Structure 1
Amino acid sequence: MKSIFYWMILIPFLVFSQNEQSNSEEYLIVGTTIFSAKSDKMKEFSEGMKNHNEQFHAEGPMGVRVFNIMNGQNANSFMAVMGPMRWSALDESRDNTAHDEDWSANVVPYIAEENETTFWKFHNQLSHFPTDFEMSKLKVTVWDIERGKYENMTSGLEKVSKVLKEKSPETPFGIYTNEFTSTQSGQDLTVVYFFDNYSWLGKDQKLKEKYDEVHGAGNFDSFVKDWITITKGGSQELWVYNPNLSGLGPQVTTSTQD
């Protein structure tokens, strides 16, 4: 892999503040890359990734968290997450020699596959991060959006975001759109819920009832019908924070503001 991407490819999400972005400033980007380890080299991969992240990605925009992917076609792989950052950060001079040498010598030899590098735009106004929470478990939904339906998508997300902020303020969530969309990838929109206990997955979140309370009776059914025409489908994954491979700890110290 070309040296500039050794640190770019990890880029995703998770610590944002509205104060960091205004109409006159650059928006924040995030990104994701999936890694899988060679089956007989898991120990070496884990040691190399941990040491690399602790040395080169333990703070700032290049800080990295790693998550275990628990289900779906990427199950048993790892999602590396770094950021947030602005695009202009890539213009800053940086000596990557030591970083690249460590990556090539102590991580690359133990990687079975490295793929699905995606850069995302973080939508602060649509997202909700309460003050001071910790990364634990993430429910990640990726949506494939119909061509020409971006404004319809945004309108629908604004309505759902309002419901979640008013009726489930204790649940952090983030909304991101792909910076480099492709009609083949099917990865246009990502919605991420952050939670602590697996039992949260088994609870009825009563979204329909909450939606109708905010927008009026019967409006959730209308939203679902519209969303079906806006999207071509989606997929969901469960990610679990892995402290043993991460450079950054689980603490998220900033919050979004309405």
Structure 2
Amino acid sequence: MNKISTLFTILFFAFSAIAEESKSYTQWDTFRFTVDNQHAKKFTKNMRAHIKKYHTEAPLKTKIYNVTYGPDANELIWVMGPVNFSELDARPENKKHDDDWADNINPYITSYKQSELWRLMEGLEINNLDKNDAPEMFMTRYLTVSKSYDPKVGKYLLTQIKKTLDKIGKVKYWAVMDNQFIQGYKNGRHLMGISSMESFAAWDEDWEFSKHFEELYGKGSFKAFQANYDRSFKNQWNELITVNKEMSGL
């Protein structure tokens, strides 16, 4: 094999590996919006029809979520996917879809807010759901990283949380996702932790997180964890989100 052929072979396998890696991620396309409450019933009917017609199959499968508690309560969230960038590029031009949105959806939306792509961070997922499980309620925690944030340190801290939750053994679904578009500090939605909830009563249960943490990492380790966490993340806030079954066509 000559040098040119050897180089071509090396480059081919290198680019193939990169392409394979680029397809291996899991991410969701989301945006937030508010609606005209005077026409809420009409909008719900129209959105349900739109989703059932255009968004029931992967990778464009979509659900609508209500923000029930949190600083942005009463907003709605469009969640489509999982969908990768290649699949977004491959979406067919669909005039009927666009016209339906323009005629039956857009007139009732009073504001469009954050449009984001959330990618699952490798190694930061707990999934104990059965195939037929479909959680209807999630607690989310948004994290704003500090200016001195070190991604390696941040990932280690989040991995400590995951391992502690694994040890406790009560989580059905938990994951950390990375916002794929630079947010700056005005918005500050850099990372998102998301955990399924079965009921509001779950808030009454004490999982003794710090106790289990120190059983894994040693006495006094939780205090050190908190100090590093506070240095890595300058802000955080929670939201409770629930599936809007009517709009989602469920």
Q: Calculate the TM-score normalised by the size of structure 2.
A: 0.85
In 2, distance between residues paired with 1:25 and 1:241? 28
Q: Residues of 2 paired with 1:198 and 1:171: CA distance?
A: 15
Secondary structure of the equivalent of 2:71? helix
Q: Secondary structure at the match of 2:111?
A: strand
1:138 corresponds to which residue? 138
2:129–2:173 contact (8 Å) kept in structure 1? no
3-state DSSP of counterpart to 2:165: helix
Q: Which residue number corresponds to residue 10 of structure 1?
A: none
- SS of the residue aligned with 1:114? strand
> Which residue of structure 2 aligns with residue 96 of structure 1?
94
Q: Distance in 1 between matches of 2:191 and 2:142?
A: 6
Question: Runs of 5+ in structure 2 lacking a partner?
Answer: 1-18
Aligned position for 1:189? 191
3-state SS of 1:107 partner: helix
TM-score, normalised with respect to structure 1: 0.83
Greater Cα radius of gyration, structure 1 or 2: 2
Question: Residues of 2 paired with 1:131 and 1:39: CA distance?
Answer: 35
Q: Look up the match of 2:125.
A: 127
Check 1:201–1:32 CA distance in 2 against 1; reply closer, same or farther (3 A cut). farther
Match of 1:179 in 2: 180
User: Which one of 63, 73, 76 corresponds to residue 74 of structure 2?
Assistant: 76
Counterpart in the other structure of 2:217: 215
Q: Which runs of 5+ in 1 are unaligned?
A: 1-20, 250-258
Letter in 2 for 1:35: F
* d(CA) in 2 for partners of 1:139, 1:43: 26
CA distance in 2, matches of 1:89, 1:238: 29
| Runs of 4+, deviation exceeding 4 Å | 21-24
What are the Cα deviations for residues 190-244 of structure 1, in whole angstroms up to 9, with x where unaligned? 0001011110122222111111122222211110111000011111110011111
Q: Which residue of 2 aligns with 1:56?
A: 54
The CA RMSD measured in Å over matched residues stands at 1.8
- Match of 1:153, SS? helix
Whole-angstrom CA distance in 1 between matches of 2:58 and 2:22: 22
Structure 1, residues 39-62: CA drift from partner, whole Å, max 9, x if none?
211111111111111111112111
Distance 1:29 1:181, change over 3 A: same
Match of 2:231 in 1: 229
Look up the equivalent residue of 1:122 and give its one-letter code: L
